[in-house]
Amino acid sequence: MKHSSFEPNWLRRIFTGFFAIAAFASLSATAANAAEPESTDPITISQSPWTGNLITSDLAAKLLLKMGYNAKVVPIDGVAVFPAMDAGDISFDVEIWESTSLQLVEASEKSGKSVKLGSLGFEGEDHWWYPEYVKEKCPGLPDYKALQKCVDLFKTPETGDKGQLLVYPVDWGTNDEPRVKTLGLDYQVVHAGSEAALLAQVKAAYQRKQPILAWLYLPHWAPAVYKGEFVKLPPYTPECYSSGTYGCEKPKAAITKMAWSGAKAKWPRAYKMIEAFQLPLADYQAMERDVDVDGKDPSAVVDAWMATHEAIWKPWIE
């Protein structure tokens, strides 16, 4: 009797254990299948040639690789990214400065071939900048009208009898030529060959206390390191841009993320990750400075950030 009363308990334990193992195996298989990429086709992340985007694009690609995707960065000019994304050749762009590219963003989104995925986490601003020591030599600054009285101060051998306005590379897109003309300023717009070249010229002029009028932007470390002020232009209005005159400030606008319109259906988990992808402003600026000021490799800077900030990025990929 003792044996027969024990047997059902023994059998019950066997069956309970079996079903527990089977249930665990089923859940594990489901989780594994959920983590598998929906497509093995490559996900392309655009990488435009400025430090911030070298960092953010590399970070996005590395997170997608952790999720099992076939992801890679594709170096591309800031303007060329829009037709490439519309054609599906670029899957995602994680750092588009609407302050510079507002009209390109609007046209791409209006075409239905791309979609905005929210902000990177902060806004961008673009301004004309001068060092603080210039103000003594050009009374009336920061009002832009003072620049016309100080043309001689900003002349260079390259610009002859006109003042020089040093701005970003031409392949980032530009509207400073019509802006200068509309504002009635005898200045020639000179495009630096790269972001690094622009910052090098600002640094050299600042160290020698030479006059310079240059385009700088926020968020960025340079306006904090090189003490100066932004020129005050007429305030931005939509009509200022739609008219093509551009005689106003550039808009303060989101630094946004965009995707090819087919990305959500093809890689829904990747799409969701890019939507969640947002960097703390202080971290973004610190990584920029690590690269530009301390000379560190962008990829190594990203790796170091990932190693110490798992609490931020891990929820994005889960």
Give the structural domain span for 92.
Answer: 43-123+252-317
Q: Which residues contact 212 (CB under 8 A, 6 or more apart)?
A: 130, 131, 134, 154, 164, 166, 201, 202, 205, 206
Query: What is the structure's pLDDT at 5?
Result: 39
Same domain, residue pair 116 and 261: yes
Between helices 310-317 and 298-308, what is the axis angle to 10°? 90
Same domain, 53 and 113: yes
CATH number at residue 279: 3.40.190.10
Instruction: Specify whether 115 is located in the same domain as 256.
Output: yes
227 and 295 in a single domain? The answer is: no
Do 138 and 119 belong together in one domain? no
- 142 and 238 share one domain: yes
Do 147 and 159 lie in a common domain?
A: yes
**For the chain, how many residues are written?**
318
Q: How many domains does the chain have?
A: 2
Query: What confidence tens digit (pLDDT) does each residue in 242-292 have?
Result: 999 999 999 999 999 999 999 999 999 999 999 999 999 999 999 999 999
pLDDT tens digits, 229-239: 999 999 999 99
Paired tokens of 254: 């989101």
pTM, two decimals, is 0.81
Same domain, 232 and 141: yes
Kindly state whether residues 128 and 171 are assigned to the same domain.
Answer: yes
Q: Is residue 20 a part of any domain in this protein?
A: no
pLDDT tens readout for residues 163-193? 999 998 888 877 999 999 999 999 999 999 9
Asked whether residue 113 falls in the same domain as residue 258, the answer is yes
Same domain, 174 and 159: yes
